[in-house]
Structure 1
Amino acid sequence: MHGVAKVALDEFQRRDEETKRKKKIEVYLNIRDKIFSKTQNGSFDLDGLRYTAELLSKNPDIYSLWNYRKRTLSKLKENHCPHTDYAENDQKKSSFDNLCKRELELTETCLQKNPKSYGAWHHRFWVISRCIDKINIDFKCEVKRCDALLFLDGRNFHCWDYWRLLCNFFDVSTYDRLIYTKSKIDYNFSNYSAWHCRANLLLNDIKAKNYRQINVETYKFESKLVLEGIFTDVRDQSAFFYKIWLLNLIDSRRRDLSITKVDVEDDSLTIYFNDHVNIKSDSIVFRVGNDYRSNFDWKAEDGSRCFKIWTCKSNDALLMRDSDTFEINWLVQNRNLEFHMNRNRIITGSRDFVPVNEIGCTVTEELTANDELRECVRSELGILSQLVEMDPNEKWPLLIYTLALQKVDREVNKDRIISGLEKLKTIDPIRMRYYDYLRNDLGFLN
């Protein structure tokens, strides 16, 4: 182990250690051969469970033995009958549930031996999800076991993965999961795993609601939480990584909304936009010659209410497909945008495009809230500036402050952003190209 000095052994101690090692190898090979023989003969029985338990309790990382136990339990479950307890000289009858209970006890013993045993963690969840009735599993008790192991090592990703599997299996709400991760963060702000888990939960929630960025109230809460962690230890990286992730959830781009492509098939029309929009049935009118067509039943390609690609079924598509040119009139925010299509489907449209952030009828809630999010970040600039002043040569506060300036308004804050990135190159020269990349990505070419 790290930090533990090796103790020199004399000749007698070395011989004693070698004898013990050979004995362990002999026991292992004996049991291994028995199990392999049973597997080849299709013999999955209680004796096999006893043999493998003896070995796994000493070394829980032998996958083949865990696999043998899985096959044995699956076979016993199929038989739907009571089984003899596999402890020697014990004639007491026990149910299959009791057998599974002993299986969980074995995994617990193995995890005490090695808290990061892939095989033991996987087998424990396999037993819970495949062998035991859900109603008979004490979820709170399982979480307490996770708590005990995370108390010893808050970054034990095996335990975190097991906790996530449990939450999915028991349909635990996102809210309750966030409460759990916050409890781990409150205990230790430097818990990378808790921050990472929290980020995934929020990201999945955003996707589930078909949002493109974080909700304003959620951002305020998360930002307050992470700033507390940053002020606790300005040199701790975990909170800064999370703050960068939060800032990257904010869409700071100011783009013009337009149609980029139109596909016309025999019975369908597909329109491609350069950003996510919500199409109303009467907002788009097609004109072929003096003929006008509208009130199409538009559907987003991914089934959501806001997407870049929209399709509708229409017999009028044949008319448009066979014409040399046709025109698309799109009524957005009381402004009519015209796009002309020729036979080669090349778009020539009015340059009077509508800025995305002005279109209330075509964007989702989180996009219209973009200005509010920028104001949230603007209100944090003073605090972030204080962090920079506290330690001007520390990279993390300066990086966060520079990224925040970009989210508020990259053009107005251009000089301060460039100055921050140039200073970061002197503070952290090993990542010089990364800071050049950030500058170029913002359009501030060297």
Structure 2
Amino acid sequence: MHSIKKVEESARIAREAKRQKKCHEVDALRKKIFATFKNIDGHEREFLDLSEIILKSIPDLYTFWIMRRNVLLKIKQKMEADPSYTIFHEDEITKLAKKKGLIPDEKVSTKEIDEEVEEKSDAAAGGDASSVPNPEVLEANFQSFDATEPYKKPELEEFMMEKQDNDESKIEESTKETFNEPLKPKCPLPTFDDLLDRDTKLSEEALFHNPKSYSAWNHRRFLMELYSNPPLKREIEICEKALTFDSRNFHVWDYRRYIVQLLNRTMDEELEFSKKMVEKNPSNYSAWHYRINILLEAGGEITDEMFVDEIRNVTEVCVVNSEDQTAWTYVNWLIDRFFNQKETKKGLENVISFTDNEMVDGNYHSTLVLYNSCTTEELKKFIEIDINNQEWKPRGKTTTVNLSNISSRIWDIYSKASINLFDSKLKETSDFSLVESPKRRYINSTLLNKIYSPNPKEMSPEVEECLKTFYKICQELMRDNEESNPWEICLSAFVLPLISGINNETEIEVKYFLEKAKTCDPQRKEMYDATANQIILTNLLQQKIDDGKNTVLEKLFEKEGKLCLEFNDYSCLRPLAGLIRLYNSSSTDLPFVIQAQLCLFLPVIAN
């Protein structure tokens, strides 16, 4: 092939041989690690050293990280049971103690060495003055010396030999005393945190080879949980340094969020940090996602002031980088979160509807629709459930095992006897509209009117002005970009119903925007269709019927209805699961996927 250099066969064979050799070495090391772990008691240090070798170069071996955690916990137990236990070598203990400043660093200067040598030389030449013989005695011995007489050791020679014998005996006694004394540690033993520091350094080296290693980052988080005093400020600095190399590394962002929680840093500090990162790179999706998580972890509630500030800040980014979807994605999430924050409803206020259906195989069949999903155990707190004589099936879930752990927003109930859950309770609640015949229909009309409300969203004047300004900017960008950019078009369709409400005119404009978006971004056609579905359904339910006496939604409160709809996403029908039905004759021509969606949200009733 062109532009590809031919490889010598000998070079290829050499590389293959080298690769095979490396594989054999890694396999041998792996087997040795498993063997050591199998007999870990007393071999903890050996295991840590062996696993450290392989994890430095292959950090994604999650099994070895797990084994290493178990060994660390085992060492911790031993250190707590026996304070003298340690896996550190003597030289490591000394080096660590010097590093901490627990013992002085014994560095002798050249001058001190010279002075010591000089003192020893003087002592060897003259010795102690008190131990030298009297000079007069030495001179008398010298004068009386007779060469013809047999040799006799002079007093000086006898003195020197005697002194040497005494010195040797003293050294021997001193040596015996030294060896007889018990060995005392020269410095304090390392703590368990010191051992964790070694593993922290190991994870750093592993992340140097693979900065996106799940295993290494998870191990680092595990270490922080074991520290008696975790070095959190150091970890923040490491995160910031890592982001300078790869500002989109979501592993670093996720780890930073964990450290920030431990440090109890304020939300404003982290929002300011993410703002700086976004200013450096507006396409940094990880920084935008981090900003989202900071807002959620602050309690999940976005105040009017916070919303206005965020919209103004992100609008500047959208205008400058209108073709980049990251900022548009963030503002879409922000608006949806602010206006559609999921409420937590409990007890009867969580019930949307309770309706009777046609009997199935001789059994009574009723449907319970909830706003928030609940388990049967949670339902028992405010509903009279006869679990022995009633069969509860969560809509869309095939299993009926361990129903106490299954949560659902739509429950189908089957029973041989009539199903009475909370008749008296619902009748005392003003939010419910009650129909007793021909079939029971207990409906939380207040809640359904709120879900499918056509009115503009309630908002403060500051928020309304902010949204209108943002909408105008989107319109200007559409003209400047000649309607070639889907992001401002899609946001226009999203914001318009919020400030103008839902009616026939709004539906037409939203459809127009979304058709433009599908033209320049056909890959997201289904997403744009799903956006239109909610607008179309809400507008349909608010249409006047019966000579203007009722809306379609109000008519559904009285009796079940049959709607002719062709949606891309039928999840918007979920709250109406107890009010409308899917008839077999009307669904045979629908695609299988759509039939499956309808069956998930609506009961199937035969004609």
TM above 0.5: yes
Aligned match for 2:272, one of 179, 195, 199: 179
Shift of 1:240: 1.0
Shift of 1:399: 1.3
Cα 1:85–1:232, aligned 2, differ >3 Å: closer, same or farther? farther
Identity %: 28
Counterpart check, 1:381 vs 2:471: yes
Cα 1:353–1:245, aligned 2, differ >3 Å: closer, same or farther? closer
Counterpart check, 1:71 vs 2:70: yes
The whole-number CA distance in structure 2 between the counterparts of 1:101 and 1:324 is 62
The whole-number CA distance in structure 2 between the counterparts of 1:39 and 1:125 is 23
Shift of 1:347: 5.4
User: 1:154 is paired with a residue of what secondary structure?
Assistant: coil
Shift of 1:346: 5.4
1:390 corresponds to = 480
Cα 1:94–1:405, aligned 2, differ >3 Å: closer, same or farther? same
Aligned match for 2:307, one of 219, 236, 243: 219
Counterpart check, 1:83 vs 2:176: no
Shift of 1:67: 2.1
1:129 corresponds to = 225
Shift of 1:172: 3.2
Query: For the Cα contact (< 8 Å) 1:406–1:413, is it kept in 2?
Result: yes
Query: For the Cα contact (< 8 Å) 2:352–2:448, is it kept in 1?
Result: no
2:40 corresponds to = 42
Shift of 1:354: 12
The correspondence of residues 288-437 of structure 1 with structure 2, limited to 5 A, is 369=459, 373-391=463-481, 392-409=483-500, 410-411=502-503, 413-437=506-530
Q: Going by fraction, where is strand more abundant, 1 or 2?
A: 1
Counterpart check, 1:231 vs 2:231: no
Counterpart check, 1:196 vs 2:289: yes
User: 2:315 is paired with a residue of what secondary structure?
Assistant: helix
Aligned match for 1:247, one of 317, 335, 359: 335
Which residue identity lines up with residue 418 of structure 1 in the other structure?
K
CA radius of gyration, larger in? 2
Counterpart check, 1:145 vs 2:148: no
Cα 1:7–1:370, aligned 2, differ >3 Å: closer, same or farther? farther
Structure 1 gaps, min length 5: 254-259, 264-269, 276-300, 303-309, 312-320, 331-336, 358-366
Query: For the Cα contact (< 8 Å) 2:59–2:216, is it kept in 1?
Result: yes
Query: For the Cα contact (< 8 Å) 1:83–1:96, is it kept in 2?
Result: no
The whole-number CA distance in structure 2 between the counterparts of 1:34 and 1:227 is 59
Shift of 1:47: 1.2
TM-score of the aligned structures, taking structure 2 as reference length: 0.52
The whole-number CA distance in structure 2 between the counterparts of 1:84 and 1:222 is 53
The whole-number CA distance in structure 2 between the counterparts of 1:101 and 1:353 is 56
The whole-number CA distance in structure 2 between the counterparts of 1:324 and 1:64 is 56
Shift of 1:142: 0.9
The whole-number CA distance in structure 2 between the counterparts of 1:218 and 1:323 is 44
Residue by residue over 1:118-143, the C-alpha shift from the partner in whole angstroms, topping out at 9 and shown as x without a partner, is 2211111111212x212xx3322211
> Which range is displaced more, 169-178 or 74-83?
169-178
1:25 corresponds to = 23
Query: For the Cα contact (< 8 Å) 1:325–1:342, is it kept in 2?
Result: no
The whole-number CA distance in structure 2 between the counterparts of 1:99 and 1:354 is 60
The correspondence of residues 84-103 of structure 1 with structure 2, limited to 5 A, is 84-85=87-88, 92=94, 94-103=190-199
Shift of 1:406: 2.3
The whole-number CA distance in structure 2 between the counterparts of 1:116 and 1:353 is 46
Query: For the Cα contact (< 8 Å) 1:327–1:341, is it kept in 2?
Result: no
The whole-number CA distance in structure 1 between the counterparts of 2:197 and 2:63 is 21
1:295 corresponds to = none
Query: For the Cα contact (< 8 Å) 2:274–2:287, is it kept in 1?
Result: yes
Query: For the Cα contact (< 8 Å) 1:53–1:106, is it kept in 2?
Result: yes
Cα 1:406–1:147, aligned 2, differ >3 Å: closer, same or farther? same
The whole-number CA distance in structure 2 between the counterparts of 1:58 and 1:252 is 48
Query: For the Cα contact (< 8 Å) 2:507–2:535, is it kept in 1?
Result: no
Shift of 1:348: 9.1
Query: For the Cα contact (< 8 Å) 1:324–1:342, is it kept in 2?
Result: no
